[in-house]
Amino acid sequence: MWARVAARLGEDARHHVVTFGSDRADFEAAIGDAEALVTDKDVLAPLLPFHAPHLKLVFVANAGLDNLAPFDWLPQGAALLNNRGAHARKAGEFGIMAILMLASRVPQMVTHQRAGEWRKLWGGIVDGRRLTVVGLGALGGAVAAQASHFGLRVTGVRTRPEPHPDCTEVIGPDELDAALASTEFLVLACPLTPATRNLLDRRRLALLPPDAGVVNIGRGPLLDQEALCDALDAGRLSGAILDVFDPEPIPSGHRIWNTPNLIISPHTAADNPGTYYELSLERFFADLKADREGRPLPTRFDVAAGY
Amino acid sequence: MWARVAARLGEDARHHVVTFGSDRADFEAAIGDAEALVTDKDVLAPLLPFHAPHLKLVFVANAGLDNLAPFDWLPQGAALLNNRGAHARKAGEFGIMAILMLASRVPQMVTHQRAGEWRKLWGGIVDGRRLTVVGLGALGGAVAAQASHFGLRVTGVRTRPEPHPDCTEVIGPDELDAALASTEFLVLACPLTPATRNLLDRRRLALLPPDAGVVNIGRGPLLDQEALCDALDAGRLSGAILDVFDPEPIPSGHRIWNTPNLIISPHTAADNPGTYYELSLERFFADLKADREGRPLPTRFDVAAGY
């Protein structure tokens, strides 16, 4: 795969000295000389901190690196890179799927099915309806793009509220409260940082219209899971579709397994196994080339911002 | 609504003599003089047959009129009309939603959720994957259009296999068997007629790849429901999303309520209550105008073909 992706990107793999490893011993044997590290956040986390005096590029094949924070383990002079964009296509498809499911009231249908009850339940088309997407990175941007194809009016929420081609309007986080009252579908697609933790708390959940639908494809702690379950148990909201939880995996016997009008996806919304590693490697090679040519690194992770 | 829709279509409602009724007495008082009847299939069915010597147009605000067959009750010289097209937008959204759900393995996720089990389950993007749509009328055509936006390769199946802008290929019913082996997603969106009853029988279900997904938005008896449940119980197919059943409503205690990897929608997939009646009336007024001008009636129902 390394040679294939390198060839596809015009990168001459004969100039690479590559070591592949699968355990701590492999890592320790190679990291002292390594100039670049390609890894995965769950593989890397238990290896922190480490000594790597030559390391320049640390590529982690994930989008959200919150479990590696704080980033004080990063060797001086090394750049942290993620695989931003590798998840976009699948996340966009999952996002619009979830919005269409909420519009068709699938979470409620599934709840009725579980009870063995035939109850007519009408949904509606999404054309012209109001979607708020929190986070306009690769994931949120892909959801906004699919949503605009379906005629949804998209309000994007991001730290720097500049215009976005697939959003009717883009607002800053300080304007979120005001936007919630007219939000019919809310998609959380932002990274988990100290600023976004518990973003959709009990107070903000109560600002949503009673038949709004909630989707979370970011990180579990972006929302107050207990408050969401309380709302659904009380018959508020039309439904929720969650891909991320706090904690993960969801413990056996947790109330969320039986919360009505809620659908659980096991943190795989943005993954497309058929292309995931090749797309990630493509990003690494693009970073490698940019580094060699002295250009800004395309997937550089801003350790101060946390994304 | 009558006056509003008439005005929107440039139809002068002052020339209409309209009677509205809600029971058999109302119907019998008016039908003897009526030149046109606008009704619903479930309202009309118990009133059959009836005597209406002046009737020219019988407009039924539904797409599938199979429960009114055989059509020997239709007064001589009267044309039967349906509301074809009124369901297209919602059916297209439901259809692509169902395909995306199967691609993301939502039916299996819901089954795991019901068991309270966290099991990682990876789906994939739909770009380049193979969809077969049986029926290319308003419903199937709308599903094909949304699917082609997502990059699916669509094989359409229809009686007269002429090219369709959203299909890679269009085949006749006699070629369906051969197409099933490479079908990843199968959507049934055709009318129920003697020719389509039990179309997806036990033998054809076995021709599908073991991880194919099945969607039915046509009519319940298009498929062998017992054979489908047997396949899902045996772990064949990636899932099924059904909006129509045999019988409806599904009886309490029926095995299908607990069949794994199957999602039940209560025959509302194609309905968008916010626009349904206005869109239907638009179609009636288009028929009325065409009749006055001696043109073919746009939504004329072919009683011989059954759609």
Chain B, nearest residue to A254 by Cα: B116
Global pTM reads 0.92
Domain co-membership, B282 together with B162: no
* Local confidence band at B18 (pLDDT 50, 70, 90 cut-offs): very high
Q: Which pLDDT belongs to residue A283?
A: 95
Candidate from B150, B253, B264 with C-beta closest to A109: B264
Largest alpha-carbon pair distance within chain B? 65
Domain co-membership, B228 together with B143: yes
Q: Where are the beta strands (DSSP E) in chain A?
A: 36-39, 57-60, 79-81, 130-134, 153-157, 169-171, 185-188, 213-216, 239-242, 262-264
| Residue B299 within a domain | no
Domain span including residue B288: 2-86+275-292
Q: Is A77 on the interface with B (CB under 8 A)?
A: no
Q: Is B93 on the interface with A (CB under 8 A)?
A: yes
Q: How far is B169 from chain A (nearest CA, A)?
A: 24
Domain co-membership, A127 together with A236: yes
- For residue B24, CA distances in Å to B45, B46, B62 come to 12, 9, 20
C-alpha to C-alpha distance for A259 and A57, rounded to whole angstroms: 44
| Residue A149 within a domain | yes
Return the structure tokens found at A45.
């986390």
Q: Is A255 on the interface with B (CB under 8 A)?
A: no
Residue with tokens 């290319």: B136
Q: Which pLDDT belongs to residue B273?
A: 86
| Residue B82 within a domain | yes
pLDDT digits (tens, 9 = 90+) for A148-191: 999 999 999 999 999 999 999 999 999 999 999 999 999 999 99
Domain co-membership, A9 together with A123: no
Q: Which pLDDT belongs to residue B198?
A: 98
Strand ranges of the sheet holding A36-39, from the earlier edge strand across to the other edge = A36-39, A57-60, A79-81
pLDDT digits (tens, 9 = 90+) for A217-272: 999 999 999 999 999 999 999 999 999 999 999 999 999 999 999 999 999 999 99
CATH code, A243:
3.40.50.720
| Residue A303 within a domain | no
Q: Is B278 on the interface with A (CB under 8 A)?
A: no
Q: Is residue B15 pLDDT above 90, yes or no?
A: no
Q: Is B265 on the interface with A (CB under 8 A)?
A: yes
Q: Where are the beta strands (DSSP E) in A90-246?
A: 130-134, 153-157, 169-171, 185-188, 213-216, 239-242
Q: Do A97 and B101 touch (CB under 8 A)?
A: yes
Residue A297 DSSP class: P
Residue A128 DSSP class: T
Q: Which pLDDT belongs to residue A263?
A: 98
Q: Is B100 on the interface with A (CB under 8 A)?
A: yes
Evaluate whether A170 touches A136 at the Cβ level (below 8 Å).
yes
**Mean pLDDT value across residues B98-107:** 98
Q: How far is A264 from chain B (nearest CA, A)?
A: 6
Candidate from B109, B126, B250 with C-beta closest to A93: B126
Residues from chain B contacting residue A152 (CB–CB below 8 Å): none
Interfacial A residues in 169-228 facing B (CB < 8 Å):
none
Angle, CA A224 vertex, CA A222 and CA A227 arms, to 5°: 155
Q: Is residue A274 pLDDT above 90, yes or no?
A: no
- Say how many C-beta atoms besides its own lie within 10 A of residue B305's C-beta: 10
Q: How far is A79 from chain B (nearest CA, A)?
A: 31
Q: Is residue A273 pLDDT above 90, yes or no?
A: no
Evaluate whether B1 touches B38 at the Cβ level (below 8 Å).
no
Q: Do A119 and B266 touch (CB under 8 A)?
A: yes
Residues from chain B contacting residue A90 (CB–CB below 8 Å): 123-125
* Local confidence band at B276 (pLDDT 50, 70, 90 cut-offs): confident
Least Cα distance to B28 among B45, B55, B52, B46 occurs for B52
Domain co-membership, B120 together with B56: no
Chain B, nearest residue to A122 by Cα: B268
| Residue B254 within a domain | yes
C-alpha to C-alpha distance for B254 and B245, rounded to whole angstroms: 11
Domain co-membership, A74 together with A133: no
Compute the mean pLDDT over every residue in chain B, rounded to the nearest whole number. Answer: 96
CB burial of B162-197 (b: ≥16 within 10 Å; e: otherwise) equals eebebbeebbeeeebeebbeebbbbbbbbbbbeebe
